[in-house]
Amino acid sequence: MLGRMQDWPLTVDKILDHAAINHGTREIISRSVAGPIVRTTYADIRVRARKVSEALLARGVKLGDRIGTLAWNSGDHMETWYGTMGIGSVLHTLNPRLYPEQLVWIINHAEDRMMFFDVTFLPLLEAIADKLPTVETFVMYGDDSMLPESTKLPNLISNEAFLSGMSGAGVTWGGFDENTACGLCYTSGTTGDPKGVLYSHRSNVLHSLISQHVDAMGVGASDVVLPIVPMFHANCWGLVFSLPIAGSTIVMPGAQLDGESVYELLDAEKVTYSAAVPTVWMMLAEYLEQSGKMLPHLKRVTIGGSAVPENIIRLFEGKYDVQVDHGWGMTETSPLGSYCAMSPETKDLPFEEKIKVKLKQGRALFGAELNVVDDAGRQLPRDGKSSGHLMIRGCAIAASYYKDVGGNILDENGWFDTSDVANIDRYGFMQITDRAKDVIKSGGEWISSIELENIAVGHEAVANAAVIGVAHPKWDERPLLIVQLKQDCSVAPEELLALIGQHVAKWQVPDDVVFVNEIPLGATGKINKLALRETFRDYKFPTA
Ligand code: ADP
């Protein structure tokens, strides 16, 4: 017997319809790439997104066609986003921090028909345009006055010209199966070719509702939200969907993500909630320390993408009275898989104990199941100690990659191996100790690089730190601590090692410290350990 409820396909066009009808006057405020602040509303964004749809249809774009974007977070980008998805074509966000060859590979693999982009990426696209046979039209955000006098891009048009003459009135949004493809995002492919994660309308709607939980990223219509995490980084952690559901005011940061620029927006727009990777918060913290500025409006931030450093929690909660929440996820998981909100067992713990909980990546959210297994696939106890492979399955988790790259990615029970190593405690709090490929194996024991990095970053002279395993004749591998110092700061290696020795067992303390001018970061702002392992491949420990 079937239930007798209405059929209401979960397609993302309904999200913007909802926001425009119920929160129509709420603002979307963007720092444009050209500089000035641009203010629009959910109602306006919907009108223009429908014009995008009409213009795409006029150029023969069909259900399932891929439309690329190479752009920062902005209201314009949001219009392309909904205008593309509304008619069932697939929005493919590209990460401009990738190498040009990687972009060429990904655009060709996706067979993008059109490319929307910010003026800052004009030289990048001109350099690779002749290798992009599938892209018929390039649309640059802005009006005709921003177009270059001459260009190597075939069929270049400004976004305003693209939309001119359109009303959007006759466009039909939705009306297709909720499992229709909606968005495409490639993982950065540190091993092998990049892999495309193809989200569906249904998975995006469900993920938005999941991430809007009060014990997750949940915000309300009175919140002013600054999504710093880029729209090309795993759907901006779902915020471009979940904020219109809530009706929150959105502040789009554009290209400037340095401490001072982020502070300016937090202050001028009275932002109450924000989300970004740790490096962004480290840059903001440095700016606040130097300038003596405070954060009177900001109430809460979500930090994820890599492990949140302890000193960031101490600083933001202790000095600036901003609640720091830790989340975990991956492109393949839409991305939010777990969130560290307090529970009845942890909420009243003394601050020092609470910090230990906040460093964990948190509990599974409904819609995603987490499991930790050993090498043989046996479930490990939830004791907060037993570390193994972190597995996940759920309603917004990838079942396979686009065009089947990598073949079957699920085990016989439908679990996806995250390639992260983690433990889960008895209250369900999961803690990542490493990525499987970054684990340091010393004399048969595993050493967590994340834990050591976290302690090192806690030293006042340290701007960033990475720990990698380097070959050792006796122990297979030993940890090497690589440190980037803050400007005009210094510290003796012995002092750093002594600090680490206060927190971990002696055999886990790195064997040596090296200082570098800059720790290399990958395309999503995470430490590029592959590059570091390459640099220090022939490094010899004094202990070796
Ligand atoms: P990329 O490989 O391109 O960086 P993702 O952004 O999908 O792709 O990265 C997902 C990975 O990032 C996770 O598998 C995990 O290793 C790491 N990660 C994400 N959030 C956290 C976190 N809070 N703590 C530790 N690691 C994290």
Q: Which of 230, 519, 210 is nearest to 367 (CA)?
A: 210
Query: pLDDT band at 191, cuts 50/70/90?
Result: low
* DSSP symbols for 463-513: EEEEEEEEEETTTEEEEEEEEEEPTT----HHHHHHHHHTTS-GGGS-SEE
Please pick, among 54, 178, 269, 332, the residue that the annotation labels catalytic: 332
Domain limit, last residue, from 218, 247, 276: 247
Query: pLDDT band at 280, cuts 50/70/90?
Result: very high
| Whether residue 441 lies in the annotated active site | yes
Q: Tell me how far the alpha carbon of residue 319 lies from the centroid of ligand 1, in angstroms.
A: 28
Residue of minimum CA distance from atom 20 in ligand 1: 305
Mean pLDDT of 235-257: 97
Q: What are the structure tokens assigned to 224, written together?
A: 């002013």
- Kindly list the protein residues whose Cβ atom lies closer than 6 A to any atom of ligand 1: 187-188, 234, 304-307, 326, 328-331, 361, 418, 420, 432, 435, 524, 526
Whether 351 has a pLDDT exceeding 90, the answer reads yes
Q: Tell me how far the alpha carbon of residue 492 lies from the centroid of ligand 1, in angstroms.
A: 31
Whether 233 has a pLDDT exceeding 90, the answer reads yes
Q: Which of 301, 420, 434 to mutate to test the pocket of ligand 1 (most atoms within 8 A of CB)?
A: 420
Whether 428 has a pLDDT exceeding 80, the answer reads yes
Q: Which residues pair with 470 in a beta bridge?
A: 478
Mean pLDDT of 515-534: 90
| Whether residue 477 lies in the annotated active site | no
Q: Tell me how far the alpha carbon of residue 229 lies from the centroid of ligand 1, in angstroms.
A: 13
- Would you call 492 exposed, middle or buried from its count of C-beta atoms within 10 A (0-12, 13-18, 19+)? exposed
Q: What are the structure tokens assigned to 62, written together?
A: 């069909």
Q: Residues near 309 by Cβ (< 8 Å), separated by ≥ 6?
A: 278, 282, 453, 454, 457, 458
pTM of the entire predicted model: 0.92
| Whether residue 195 lies in the annotated active site | no
Please pick, among 187, 249, 279, 433, the residue that the annotation labels catalytic: 187
State how far the Cα of 258 lies from the Cα of 276, in Å rounded to an integer: 12
Does residue 428 lie in a domain region? Answer: no
Per the CB < 8 A criterion, the answer to whether 286 and 279 are in contact is: no
> CA separation (Å) from 446 to 374, 441, 523?
13, 5, 27
Q: Tell me how far the alpha carbon of residue 88 lies from the centroid of ligand 1, in angstroms.
A: 29
Question: Relative to the CA of 233, which ligand 1 atom is closest?
Answer: 6
List, for residues 20-72, the tens digit of each pLDDT value.
999 999 999 999 988 899 999 999 999 999 999 999 999 999 999 999 999 99
Question: Relative to the CA of 330, which ligand 1 atom is closest?
Answer: 7
Q: Provide the number of structural domains found in the chain.
A: 2
Q: Which domain holds residue 518?
A: 438-535
HSE-up (13 A, CA, CB side) for residue 338: 29
Rg (C-alpha) for the chain, rounded Å, is 23
Whether 189 has a pLDDT exceeding 80, the answer reads no
How are strands ordered across the β-sheet holding 336-340? Answer: 37-41, 27-31, 249-252, 224-227, 273-276, 300-303, 323-329, 336-340, 363-364
Query: pLDDT band at 165, cuts 50/70/90?
Result: very high
Q: Tell me how far the alpha carbon of residue 234 lies from the centroid of ligand 1, in angstroms.
A: 10
Residue of minimum CA distance from atom 12 in ligand 1: 305
Calculate the CA dihedral of residues 15, 17, 21, 24 and round it to 10 degrees. 80
Whether 501 has a pLDDT exceeding 80, the answer reads yes
* DSSP symbols for 383-405: SS---EEEEEEETTS-SS-GGGT
* Contacts of 262-268 spanning 24+ positions with Cβ under 8 A: 262/226, 262/228, 262/287, 263/287, 263/288, 263/291, 263/293, 265/31, 265/226, 266/226, 266/295, 266/297, 266/298, 267/293, 267/297
State how far the Cα of 312 lies from the Cα of 290, in Å rounded to an integer: 16
> CA separation (Å) from 534 to 191, 272, 470, 513?
14, 41, 10, 17
Does residue 201 lie in a domain region? Answer: yes
Residue 439: what pLDDT? 87
Whether 413 has a pLDDT exceeding 90, the answer reads yes
Whether 359 has a pLDDT exceeding 70, the answer reads yes
Does residue 399 lie in a domain region? Answer: no
Per the CB < 8 A criterion, the answer to whether 163 and 188 are in contact is: no
Residue 355: what pLDDT? 95
Query: pLDDT band at 190, cuts 50/70/90?
Result: low
Mean pLDDT of 456-475: 93
Domain limit, last residue, from 198, 221, 247: 247
Q: What are the structure tokens assigned to 263, written together?
A: 């502070």
Residue 525: what pLDDT? 81
* Three-class SS state of 337: strand
Q: Tell me how far the alpha carbon of residue 34 lies from the centroid of ligand 1, in angstroms.
A: 31
Residue of minimum CA distance from atom 13 in ligand 1: 330
Q: Tell me how far the alpha carbon of residue 312 lies from the centroid of ligand 1, in angstroms.
A: 18
Residue of minimum CA distance from atom 19 in ligand 1: 305
Strands 249-252, 27-31: pairing is parallel
| Whether residue 187 lies in the annotated active site | yes
Residue of minimum CA distance from atom 24 in ligand 1: 307
Number of H helices, E strands in the chain: 16, 25
Q: Which of 250, 206, 247, 235 is nearest to 39 (CA)?
A: 250
Mean pLDDT of 357-364: 97
Query: pLDDT band at 522, cuts 50/70/90?
Result: confident
Question: Relative to the CA of 522, which ligand 1 atom is closest?
Answer: 4
Residue 9: what pLDDT? 98
Most confident segment among 132-141, 503-512, 534-543? 132-141
Q: Tell me how far the alpha carbon of residue 405 lies from the centroid of ligand 1, in angstroms.
A: 20
Residue of minimum CA distance from atom 5 in ligand 1: 330
Does residue 161 lie in a domain region? Answer: yes
Q: Which of 277, 328, 359, 529 to mutate to test the pocket of ligand 1 (most atoms within 8 A of CB)?
A: 328
Tell me what the pLDDT averaged over the chain comes to: 95
Does residue 329 lie in a domain region? Answer: no
Please pick, among 347, 356, 403, 441, the residue that the annotation labels catalytic: 441
Domain limit, last residue, from 217, 247, 277: 247
Write down how long the chain is: 544
Question: Relative to the CA of 435, which ligand 1 atom is closest?
Answer: 16
> CA separation (Å) from 305 to 165, 275, 328, 361?
42, 10, 7, 10
Q: Does an H or E element contain 161, and which?
A: helix 159-163
Q: Which of 409, 526, 529 to mutate to test the pocket of ligand 1 (most atoms within 8 A of CB)?
A: 526
Please pick, among 131, 293, 446, 535, the residue that the annotation labels catalytic: 446
For position 505, which CATH number holds? 3.30.300.30
Per the CB < 8 A criterion, the answer to whether 477 and 440 are in contact is: yes
Question: Relative to the CA of 523, which ligand 1 atom is closest?
Answer: 3
Q: What are the structure tokens assigned to 348, written together?
A: 């009243």
Strands 27-31, 37-41: pairing is antiparallel
Question: Relative to the CA of 326, which ligand 1 atom is closest?
Answer: 23
Question: Relative to the CA of 432, which ligand 1 atom is closest?
Answer: 25
Whether 188 has a pLDDT exceeding 80, the answer reads no
State how far the Cα of 392 lies from the Cα of 423, in Å rounded to an integer: 13
List the beta strands (DSSP E) in 205-294.
224-227, 249-252, 273-276
Q: Tell me how far the alpha carbon of residue 345 lies from the centroid of ligand 1, in angstroms.
A: 27
Residue 443: what pLDDT? 86
Residue 71: what pLDDT? 98
List, for residues 295-342, the tens digit of each pLDDT value.
999 999 999 999 999 999 999 999 999 999 999 999 999 999 999 999
* DSSP symbols for 11-61: -THHHHHHHHHHSTT-EEEEE-TTSSEEEEEHHHHHHHHHHHHHHHHHTT-
Question: Relative to the CA of 361, which ligand 1 atom is closest?
Answer: 23
Residue 391: what pLDDT? 98
Does residue 367 lie in a domain region? Answer: no
Does residue 358 lie in a domain region? Answer: no
Considering the chain, what percentage of its residues have pLDDT values greater than 90? 91
Does residue 344 lie in a domain region? Answer: no
State how far the Cα of 53 lies from the Cα of 83, in Å rounded to an integer: 5
Query: pLDDT band at 445, cuts 50/70/90?
Result: confident
